Copies of this chain bind each other. A is one copy, B any other.
Amino acid sequence: MRATVIYGERDVRLEEVPDPEIHEPGDAIVRVVAACICGSDLWPYRGIRPTPKPRRIGHEMVGVVEQVGDAVSRVSVGDFVIAPFYICDNTCVNCRNGMTTSCLNGLAWGGTDETGARIDGCQGEKVRVPFADGTLVAVPGEPDAAAIPSLLALSDVCGTGHHAAVSAGVGPGASVVVVGDGAVGLSAVLAAKRVGAERIIAMSRHEDRQALACDFGATDVIAERGEEGAERVRELTDGIGADAVLECVGTKESMDQALRSTRPGGRVGFVGVPAGGPELPMQTLFSTNIGVAGGMAPVRGYIEDLLPAVLAGDYSAGRVFDSELPLDRVAEGYAAMDERRAIKVLLRP
């Protein structure tokens, strides 16, 4: 089969690789129907994270089950399935607490399992799925082609934006600021709208993203940043800042923006992968009572929570995909996202 391999900075290639095979009784083999490129894939692509040796890449996909191991009971050959961006057993004590990203048996796409056997990346034609019963969520029936982008979004960005809103405790009537206008930030706008936020302020400087944010439910758009951006937020929020701020970038500047934009006693929900920078300022948190929660989103559970709305056509999370390419043009997809010509690229094997 063919799969994407990253060699180093700005060097991704689609290559012929061995077909995956069942290794463990809990494994399944899934034929990938759609995969995509994540903002976090740009880190090794840009060389910010080194790639010491070539490796498989991609951690988001939907597909059809082609084969299952003897111990698999919750998914069957022919099922259309959604995979979260990580592998989990969904039975350990952390999984039972909803923290599937902290699964005691958790594994990573593109890595190896406990026996040292390769786990495929998702930007390929097929993948071996360890802990298939825990990891995969089967979609009832055969989904419409039109639903596939939104189903694929459940694999990562949709649930990650949702996690920001959940972590910040967004509820009916809340005022919310979303820092970051990438696919996750836009998904956070959609999530805030879904749970009933009254005022949703998107911080964005890009016209196309501003427009999608407004379609997703943003009531206001702020292009300013830093203290000027925070001042604009306060003008819209009784002079004190928002009840909840969803941090969807991960830089020092974006977290600073989030903290400045939150009212005393408010909450920052953060899902941006931390890209170094200074740590959270305790004295500021203490004096303002601003709480901070979030992290690597346990989207496995959110797939089940959000799937009915997606299938009913009420949750158009897939609109964050503004570009679609066949898998053999994966390198173009990386370049388009790197150069910000695309928000998020969907790949069809």
B-contacting residues of A (Cβ < 8 Å)? Answer: 93-94, 97-99, 101-102, 167, 238-240, 255, 263-265, 267, 270, 273-274, 277-283, 285-296, 298
Contacts and interface: CB of A to CB of B under 8 A. Distances in A.
> Closest 10 CB pairs between A and B?
A291-B293, A102-B264, A279-B279, A280-B280, A289-B295, A99-B265, A274-B282, A286-B295, A99-B264, A93-B238
Contacts of A267: 293
A265 B94 contact: yes
A292 B289 contact: no
B280 A98 contact: no
Q: Please state the number of chain copies in the assembly.
A: 2
Given A94-B263, A102-B289, A264-B94, A255 B240 contact: no
A182 to B, nearest CB: 17
Contacts of A274: 282-283, 286
Nearest to A163: B289
B94 A240 contact: yes
A88 to B, nearest CB: 12
8 contacts: A94-B240, A94-B265, A101-B289, A102-B265, A280-B280, A280-B292, A286-B296, A288-B295
B279 A282 contact: yes
Contacts of A281: 279
A295 to B, nearest CB: 4
Given A93-B239, A274-B283, A298 B265 contact: yes
Nearest to A279: B279
A180 to B, nearest CB: 15
Contact of A97 (B265, B290, B296): B265
Given A285-B293, A289-B293, A293-B293, 5 more contacts: A93-B238, A99-B263, A274-B282, A280-B282, A285-B295
A292 B286 CA distance: 10
Contacts of A240: 93-94, 97
A171 to B, nearest CB: 14
Given A98-B265, A265-B98, A289 B298 contact: yes
Contacts of A296: 286-287, 289
